[in-house]
Structure 1
Amino acid sequence: MYMNRELSWVKFNERVLEEAERKDVPLCERLTFASIFQSNLDEFFMVRVGSLQDQLLLNKNIRDNKTNMTAKEQIEAILKQVKKLNRRKDNVYEEIMDNLEEQGVKLLNFQSMEEEEKEFLSQYFDREVAPIISPSIVGKRQPFPFLRNKEIYAVVVLETKTGKEKMGIIPCTNSSVPRLIKMPGGEGAFMLSEELILHYMSRVFNGYVVKAKSLIRVTRNADIDADALYDEDLDYREFMAEVIKKRKKLMPVRLELSREMDGSVVDTLCKYLDLGKDRVFQGSTPLDLSFGFQIQDELRKKPELFYKKRVPQKSAQFEDGMSIIEQVQEKDKLLSYPFESIKPFLNLLNEAAEDPNVVSIKMTLYRVAKQSKVIEALIEAAENGKEVVVLVELRARFDEENNIEWSRHLEDAGCRVIYGLDGYKVHSKLCLITRKEEGQITYITQIGTGNYNEKTARLYTDLSLITSNVDIGIEAAKVFQALSMGEVVEESTHLLVAPKCLQNKVIEMIEQEMEYARRGEKAYIGLKLNSLTDKRIIDKLIEASCAGVQIDMVIRGICCLVPEIPEKTENIHVYSIVGRFLEHSRIYIFGCDERKKLYIASADFMTRNTVRRVEVAAPIYDEELKSQLLEMFITMLSDNQQARKVDSEGKYVLNVAEESPVNSQEYFYQAAYDAIALNKEKSTF
């Protein structure tokens, strides 16, 4: 009934690769999926494999609580599966590039290029590249250099005149040399800069015989526990800046090669990097596919190679020219990204910054855009004399530097900045606007499933509730009061607030459904999540299935529960949607008909979310919004274009229906377009 967390993630990334393999996905989008597959794998090795490696190094005998696998067993299983997937990636990359060549774009290689192309590249290397590269030969006076995380290096085996072998290394990542070198003359022909450097290694090491060469790339462990290292006498922001520096120098967890090299050479590299040979991956795909976006830019004039253009629409729930605050006071609003624009929320913040009746704005920030309009609005509010309290989570992995910089800007503007809690990451998406009018305190509360990030609001599916409900406002105020005091909420009535008031309340609601089922009444649970790993909740869902509760789950990524096993999980059905947009919204549904409870949340059902983070789930009380949310969930269950159903063996099966096709993401986008068109019709009438 259980699937290992790490192997379940590998299955998720396989589904991403399947999108690159699909012939019905536009060609340039297939290249994007191949690139996402590769970058996903980078982060997986840096974080998850890095964590397992730490367990091995510390001789911790920790076993997975669902499958009882040791760290060693998990790593071995991961490496086996990843090597299989990498072979598929190499095949699909070659197929995509062959098809792109038919469209007029190609990457050159020296084996098949014309003499004039070789002459251009030869001159280009001598003039533009050779003067700025920094070669080194490993020896007694020059130790093996530090290889930076995810950067590409050219490595060469050199033979001296006396027959001795040495190793030469050249960094290929240089801001002065473009990654894609455009060939003169005809459009669409490029050479990768690292391949150019590799080809002309003999010119750099001209006193030696080149015996073998390859491009290499090292992935380093990024799993560093900031809380365990923190000293209360240190400034927390400066401490986090030091943590980032340390992470860049952590142990390697993977070595990738672009060419086959003699076993003794690989042994030498592994010795220098302190890596086992099982961590070496050799393939034919470029070691970094991010150049694909530049290739796509060359083909923008061919719309058939891309998904149909879609632009986030104005929400039909809001009227132009009217105060956002007044509209929310009349009725709760629910925004659905990326189908609807984030602008109403940004307008709300800007309006609050100017509203003389607004006393304070309080907000939790986990990941924000590089050029953040949200931050700009908060700064303006502070400069206008509002009390602005912002919790900036400096431990948001890989966004620490961005958050550190924004925290400085907020402080400079007069905002009060909190850096998080001891032992808990603050992952909630919560904004509270407090107003005082005619002696009365009122609240506008926003609770979301995704970050306050204008960029990802165009790429991720997320939900955002904006409400003037007093009970919700009061509980949101309690959350901020606790955060300000370095504490967590101990009890709540309306909001579900982790770490103390979410997992237990979810389990209570599952148990309530079990009671209804045992009495022979209809009982139902519907969940939309990114991941399901929390064993307490998983075990309770299995109990509920055995009791007769019908359970539907749409889980994009990790799912540690195997559904549809007779007499165990036969009443549980699991689907995964991987498509154009990253599924990121979380929806909880408990109960049937008039007793149905609906929530949107920032929390997946992962132990890290339910008991180790501050998370918030908000109830949907407005009946129209409930219907809207239910319709969305039912549509996702009906998706027969992008959804995979999980069978009783844990396999994900894509069943594409040619008749009555339902692509839920396209359906929601079209619905947003149609709602705006209908509004225009009504106003014209």
Structure 2
Amino acid sequence: MSEIDLRQPDLYTNRQLSLLEFNRRVLAQAEDNRLPLLERLKMLCISSTNLDEFFEIRVAGLKQAMAMGSVQAGPDNHSAQEVLTAISQRAHQLVEDQYRILNSVLIPQLAEQDIRFLRRSEWSPSQRLWLQEYFEEDLLPIISPIGLDPAHPFPRVLNKSLNFIVSLDGKDAFGRSSGYAVVQAPRALPRLIQLPANEAGNGPFDFVFLSSVIHAFVGQELFPGMRVKGCYQFRVTRNSDLFVDEEEVDDLLRAMEGELLSRRYGDAVRLEVAANCPDHLADYLLDEFNLSRDDLHQVNGPVNLNRLMAIYDLVDRPELKFTSFVSGLPRELAPTSDIFERIRRSDILLHHPFHSFLPVIDFLRQAAQDPQVLAIKQTLYRTGPDSAIVDALVAAARSGKEVTVVIELRARFDEEANIALANRLQEAGAHVVYGVVGHKTHAKMMLVVRREGRDLNHYVHLGTGNYHSRTARLYTDYGLLTCNEDIGEDVRRVFLQLTSLGKVSELNCLLQAPFTLHDQLLGKIEREARHAQAGRPARIIAKLNSLVEPQIIQALYAASCAGVKIDLVVRGMCSLKPGLPGVSERITVRSVIGRFLEHTRVYYFENDGDPQVFCSSADWMERNFFRRVEVAFPLLNPEVRAQVIRDLDYYLRDNTQAWVLTAEGHYERLQPAEGEQPLSAQTALLEELTSLS
């Protein structure tokens, strides 16, 4: 049998199309009757938000590549134009399904629970009167309709803002008759208006869309002397990827501040309009935004579905939501006043959100207050507003400790928050650096240097996720607290590299991108192949968000051919095709979509019966291997390692929230076989590690 060329394009799935498939799996949750109703509405909103970002970044990037004449293709060998054509077809179907689920499934079921969205045709006289007063008192004073003529050109439309194109008949006070106007919905007002409960027959949770109110009253006072022939909502999505030529700027922070101003008005990539918008008006808008019909989405409902997310907090109906829980603590963290003493006893593994994020905050707070602590070093990628982590760093800096913070200013969509964070830390006296030119600092590390007797000891926290209290309740992530000398020394060297820009000496046990991580992983995959060929125990398990890097995929294919059993749990993009005869017959790929966003990255290598397990901030993507600073850290403590291996087994046995990837590139949702016990990995971990209420 001749050797198979593992680089041939038909062995790879296009990464962008794979990401769209992930969004379809998220949307499927909105139709799953096993989930609480408001959680299903939330999943619909998440699918809308995901699709927004997909257009802002992925589609925008492909359009940019085409405009620059790029012919570069990925390992699947599809050109940018071919991918855009496929995206248009699939995205239109996805949007159609979103609104079908909203209108035909969720809205009727919500109405059965007395949660109603009232159309204009359903308003009672008293409701109409109340809404007219709302329009006159809250909307009219701040709304500014813009009639279109040579002195009033088409206005600049903010990215993803709610707008209306209005068709007019007649002349204004100055004798002008342009025929069109644009009304921009005030950004300060909510997109959902809750009617007063128990007044004039209102239900407990009756809502009206702001767009409905504008539609209803736009002709009464906004265009006096003219007749409104039609009013149609629209929304434009723009390129939101920032570009800063880091080689040409002297001050990255100032350059980022300048670039952020342009994000709101980047090139248009998608236009959404109401389904009843006439073709001539849709074409008019497409011309204004320099878009084609392929970029047009006509929707039967509000143009911004993710605004429905507000319902989740506005409706106090616990029975329509997931059962609440109180995050647990590892047994090693029994109540104690000295977290350093606990870490000295044993490495501590935290598995969020099943374990509380508070130990991470307490670790930093104690370090900030401890007179024996001399220095604190930390990376920050995303932290969220009102961060207890940042408060502790500020307190430590003000108390005179040496505080060094590596802030990634280019964390997508968090750039503005991180600029404010950098300024706050600098004002407190912390040393703030912005990482490395050309490489995002994505590693999650915290180092505390503590004097104990005559020694300076290193206490470390390493994680797979951000130092962000809110996402620690929504994303699954691992965190390791340790005072292992080799790990502590490695973390110190990486921080030295990030701040001094000097070369890092060889690390003891951490794998670091962009230096050793890629080569080391290739080596470990090839080692498993050699073990399998020699008849020794060989297996690979990897849990990731994305798997698209071609060399890694080729190595996995080769290992499969050599006899290695490979199980992959990949939440989102996956360019590898499992189950291909003679190539990937021993590879399985599954995606788990559940209550929490799967975010842990774990790499397991059987290694002839001496397993190696690494956790990491890095997915198996080109950007993580070559354009980011990442670390993968080994689990050296046998109990900690066994815990993670057991968790992986849960995910590999999940038969309720798991989707299996076929050789044809389709995902099929698993169902328990006849006589098989249902198992959800997330539910099992919730039951074991938390207090459900």
Q: Kindly tell me: are residues 194 and 220 of structure 1, through their superposed partners in 2, closer, same or farther at Cα, counting changes over 3 Å? A: same
8 A Cα contact 1:105 1:295, kept in partner: no
Residue deviations 1:206-254 (CA, integer Å, cap 9, x gap): 433333321000110012222x266333x32122111111222210100
**Cross-structure match for 1:681:** none
Residue deviations 1:13-67 (CA, integer Å, cap 9, x gap): 0000000111111110010000000000111110111111111111111212x21
8 A Cα contact 1:489 1:501, kept in partner: no
Q: Does 1:449 align with 2:464?
A: yes
- 1:432 deviates by 1.0
Residue deviations 1:340-393 (CA, integer Å, cap 9, x gap): 001111111111112222221111110002011111111111122211111001
User: What is the aligned residue count?
Assistant: 672
Q: Kindly tell me: are residues 468 and 229 of structure 1, through their superposed partners in 2, closer, same or farther at Cα, counting changes over 3 Å? A: closer
1:220 to 221, 238, 241: 238
8 A Cα contact 1:488 1:499, kept in partner: no
**Cross-structure match for 2:631:** 616
2:110 to 100, 106, 121: 100
* Structure 2 counterpart of 1:354, one-letter code: Q
Distance in 1 (CA, whole Å) between partners of 2:196 and 2:269 is: 36
Decide which moves more: 3-12 or 161-170: 161-170
Q: Kindly tell me: are residues 258 and 488 of structure 1, through their superposed partners in 2, closer, same or farther at Cα, counting changes over 3 Å? A: farther
Q: Does 1:538 align with 2:563?
A: no
- 1:322 deviates by 3.9
Distance in 2 (CA, whole Å) between partners of 1:608 and 1:46 is: 18
* Structure 2 counterpart of 1:121, one-letter code: L
After superposition, residues 90-169 of structure 1 pair within 5 angstroms as 90-94=99-103, 95-160=105-170, 166-169=179-182
**Cross-structure match for 2:440:** 425
Distance in 2 (CA, whole Å) between partners of 1:640 and 1:381 is: 47
- 1:115 deviates by 2.5
Distance in 1 (CA, whole Å) between partners of 2:239 and 2:448 is: 40
Distance in 1 (CA, whole Å) between partners of 2:191 and 2:666 is: 42
- 1:530 deviates by 0.4
8 A Cα contact 2:531 2:608, kept in partner: no
- 1:178 deviates by 6.1
Distance in 1 (CA, whole Å) between partners of 2:373 and 2:313 is: 45
Unaligned runs of 5+ in 1: 678-685
8 A Cα contact 1:367 1:396, kept in partner: yes
Q: Kindly tell me: are residues 506 and 268 of structure 1, through their superposed partners in 2, closer, same or farther at Cα, counting changes over 3 Å? A: same
**Cross-structure match for 2:295:** 279
Q: Does 1:648 align with 2:658?
A: no
* Structure 2 counterpart of 1:188, one-letter code: F
Q: Kindly tell me: are residues 594 and 549 of structure 1, through their superposed partners in 2, closer, same or farther at Cα, counting changes over 3 Å? A: closer
- 1:608 deviates by 0.3
**Cross-structure match for 1:259:** 275
8 A Cα contact 2:368 2:393, kept in partner: yes
Q: What fraction of aligned residue pairs are identical, expressed as a percent?
A: 36
SS state at 1:600 partner: strand
**Cross-structure match for 1:299:** 315
1:70 to 76, 79, 89: 79
SS state at 1:640 partner: coil
Distance in 2 (CA, whole Å) between partners of 1:194 and 1:487 is: 56
Q: Kindly tell me: are residues 26 and 630 of structure 1, through their superposed partners in 2, closer, same or farther at Cα, counting changes over 3 Å? A: same
- 1:396 deviates by 0.5
**Cross-structure match for 1:395:** 410
Residue deviations 1:73-104 (CA, integer Å, cap 9, x gap): 11111111010111111111111011111111
Distance in 1 (CA, whole Å) between partners of 2:147 and 2:212 is: 19
**Cross-structure match for 2:209:** 192
Q: Kindly tell me: are residues 144 and 547 of structure 1, through their superposed partners in 2, closer, same or farther at Cα, counting changes over 3 Å? A: same
Q: Does 1:84 align with 2:80?
A: no
8 A Cα contact 2:433 2:499, kept in partner: yes
SS state at 1:579 partner: coil
**Cross-structure match for 1:310:** 325
* Structure 1 counterpart of 2:264, one-letter code: K
**Cross-structure match for 1:527:** 542
Distance in 1 (CA, whole Å) between partners of 2:138 and 2:617 is: 49
After superposition, residues 257-656 of structure 1 pair within 5 angstroms as 257-301=273-317, 303-487=318-502, 489=504, 491-592=506-607, 594-656=609-671
**Cross-structure match for 1:172:** 185
* Structure 1 counterpart of 2:574, one-letter code: C
Decide which moves more: 339-348 or 208-217: 208-217
8 A Cα contact 2:536 2:608, kept in partner: no
Q: Does 1:40 align with 2:50?
A: yes
- 1:293 deviates by 3.7
* Structure 2 counterpart of 1:212, one-letter code: G
Q: Kindly tell me: are residues 673 and 311 of structure 1, through their superposed partners in 2, closer, same or farther at Cα, counting changes over 3 Å? A: closer
* Structure 2 counterpart of 1:67, one-letter code: D
- 1:298 deviates by 4.5
Decide which moves more: 461-470 or 320-329: 320-329
- 1:492 deviates by 2.5
Q: Kindly tell me: are residues 57 and 283 of structure 1, through their superposed partners in 2, closer, same or farther at Cα, counting changes over 3 Å? A: same
Unaligned runs of 5+ in 2: 1-10
Distance in 2 (CA, whole Å) between partners of 1:498 and 1:655 is: 35
* Structure 1 counterpart of 2:54, one-letter code: F
1:237 to 250, 253, 257: 253
Residue deviations 1:611-650 (CA, integer Å, cap 9, x gap): 1100011000111111100000001101111011111111
**Cross-structure match for 2:682:** 665
- 1:6 deviates by 0.2
* Structure 2 counterpart of 1:416, one-letter code: H
Q: Kindly tell me: are residues 580 and 487 of structure 1, through their superposed partners in 2, closer, same or farther at Cα, counting changes over 3 Å? A: farther
Distance in 2 (CA, whole Å) between partners of 1:194 and 1:618 is: 50
- 1:266 deviates by 1.5
* Structure 1 counterpart of 2:283, one-letter code: D
8 A Cα contact 1:479 1:488, kept in partner: no
8 A Cα contact 2:660 2:668, kept in partner: yes
* Structure 2 counterpart of 1:166, one-letter code: G
8 A Cα contact 2:45 2:309, kept in partner: no
After superposition, residues 19-30 of structure 1 pair within 5 angstroms as 19-30=29-40
8 A Cα contact 2:145 2:182, kept in partner: yes
* Structure 2 counterpart of 1:131, one-letter code: P
Q: Does 1:208 align with 2:226?
A: yes
Distance in 2 (CA, whole Å) between partners of 1:618 and 1:278 is: 45
Residue deviations 1:137-162 (CA, integer Å, cap 9, x gap): 11111000000001100111223369
Distance in 2 (CA, whole Å) between partners of 1:487 and 1:422 is: 13
Distance in 2 (CA, whole Å) between partners of 1:465 and 1:537 is: 26
Decide which moves more: 105-114 or 147-156: 105-114
Distance in 2 (CA, whole Å) between partners of 1:176 and 1:494 is: 53
- 1:452 deviates by 0.4
8 A Cα contact 2:246 2:252, kept in partner: no
8 A Cα contact 2:618 2:625, kept in partner: yes
**Cross-structure match for 2:6:** none
SS state at 1:214 partner: strand
Decide which moves more: 153-162 or 12-21: 153-162
Distance in 1 (CA, whole Å) between partners of 2:77 and 2:397 is: 52
**RMSD of aligned alpha carbons:** 1.9
- 1:176 deviates by 4.8
* Structure 2 counterpart of 1:419, one-letter code: Y
Q: Kindly tell me: are residues 267 and 488 of structure 1, through their superposed partners in 2, closer, same or farther at Cα, counting changes over 3 Å? A: farther
* Structure 2 counterpart of 1:12, one-letter code: F
- 1:535 deviates by 0.8
Distance in 1 (CA, whole Å) between partners of 2:394 and 2:130 is: 52
Distance in 2 (CA, whole Å) between partners of 1:608 and 1:565 is: 27
